[in-house]
């Protein structure tokens, strides 16, 4: 609602008090109109997206650790192969994905994944992948 704070919940910590009135409770002001369009609702825990030059999107699913292609019309590919061993199920899966600066020529994709290494250890790792 115009002029009202967008955040109406109380702070999560009971001892968290603002330093001045309405700190972190900035009022909402509409700056632009926009339309939301659902392209697909068939992904499981989508995490990151990279837009490919042909208009398709490379999307990671945090769990179960898949990377898929999504067409602008919503067509969803099967999970891409070649990265299965990096983020196997129950290991927390894939996170961010970005195209390399020279993607049009080198077809490289950078991505990160999270893996449990034992009961008390985990690791955030990164990889390089060549598409095509």
Residue 43 confidence (pLDDT) above 70:
yes
Both structure tokens of 61:
């699913």
The 10s digit of each residue's pLDDT in 87-114 is: 555 556 788 999 999 999 998 998 888 7
> How confident is residue 41, by pLDDT bands cut at 50, 70 and 90?
very high
Q: Is 91 in contact with 65 (CB distance < 8 Å)?
A: yes
pLDDT the model gives residue 49:
96
Least confident of 32-36, 69-73, 98-102, 125-129: 125-129
Q: Does residue 61 or residue 119 have the better pLDDT?
A: 61
Q: Is 4 in contact with 27 (CB distance < 8 Å)?
A: yes
The 10s digit of each residue's pLDDT in 22-31 is: 676 677 778 8
N-term to C-term CA, the chain: 48
Q: CA 69 → CA 28, 60, 125, distances in Å? A: 36, 9, 22
Both structure tokens of 90:
């129950």
The 10s digit of each residue's pLDDT in 46-65 is: 999 999 999 999 999 887 78
Quote the Cα angle for 127-119-68, to 5°.
35
For residue 110, the SS3 value is: strand
């Amino acid at each position: 609602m115009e002029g009202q704070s967008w955040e109406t919940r109380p702070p999560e910590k009971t001892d968290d008090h603002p330093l001045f009135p309405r700190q972190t409770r900035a009022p909402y002001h509409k700056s632009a109109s926009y339309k939301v369009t659902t392209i697909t609702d068939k992904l499981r825990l989508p995490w990151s997206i990279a837009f490919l030059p042909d208009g398709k999107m490379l999307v990671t699913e945090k769990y179960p650790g898949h990377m898929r292609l999504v067409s602008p019309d919503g067509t969803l590919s099967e999970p891409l192969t070649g990265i299965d061993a990096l983020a196997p199920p129950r290991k927390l899966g894939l996170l961010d994905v970005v195209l390399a600066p020279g993607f049009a020529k080198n077809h490289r994709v950078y991505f990160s994944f999270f893996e449990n290494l034992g009961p008390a250890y985990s690791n955030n790792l990164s990889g390089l992948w060549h598409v095509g």
